[in-house]
Amino acid sequence: MLSLWACGGIDSAFCDFATLPAQGWAYGDTISLTPRYMSDSIAAGHLVVALRHNNSYPYSNIWLEVTHTAPDGRVMRDTVNCVLADMYGRWKGHGVGASFQFADTIPPQVAVTAGSPITIRHIMRVDTIRNIEHLGIMLVP
């Protein structure tokens, strides 16, 4: 249901979301999302990282490392600083109640292969972060 809500208004080659554990997301836990159901075996565009957090998330940002394998076999790794709150502490994401959804585009255009996993891990300076509820990836033209 979350992926339909998150991807409903976006023209994307693929979209996949994962629910994160309620006890938190440990530093060593890598979330793996696999592009499926693409119209072609290789698609090009910009990766968009999307997440849903609740009002109790204690930081104004989250650092993520996004890794995927290009069609030519090169491992591509991007570091993304998702700034979730403005300088006054107001959440930038949109949401209802205590949950907010935020999306950030990773700048360089990439090509991804259907069935080749895209992995995401947080690289914050704490072992376990809490109150991130869902994490996803989309490829938009």
Record the pTM: 0.87
> pLDDT tens digits, residue range 33-91?
988 767 678 888 899 999 999 999 999 999 999 999 999 999 999 999 999 999 999 99
Instruction: Fill in the amino acid letter for 28.
Output: G
pLDDT the model gives residue 43: 83
> pLDDT tens digits, residue range 79-138?
999 999 999 999 999 887 889 999 999 988 999 888 889 999 999 999 999 999 999 999
Q: How many CB atoms lie within 10 A of CB 74?
A: 8
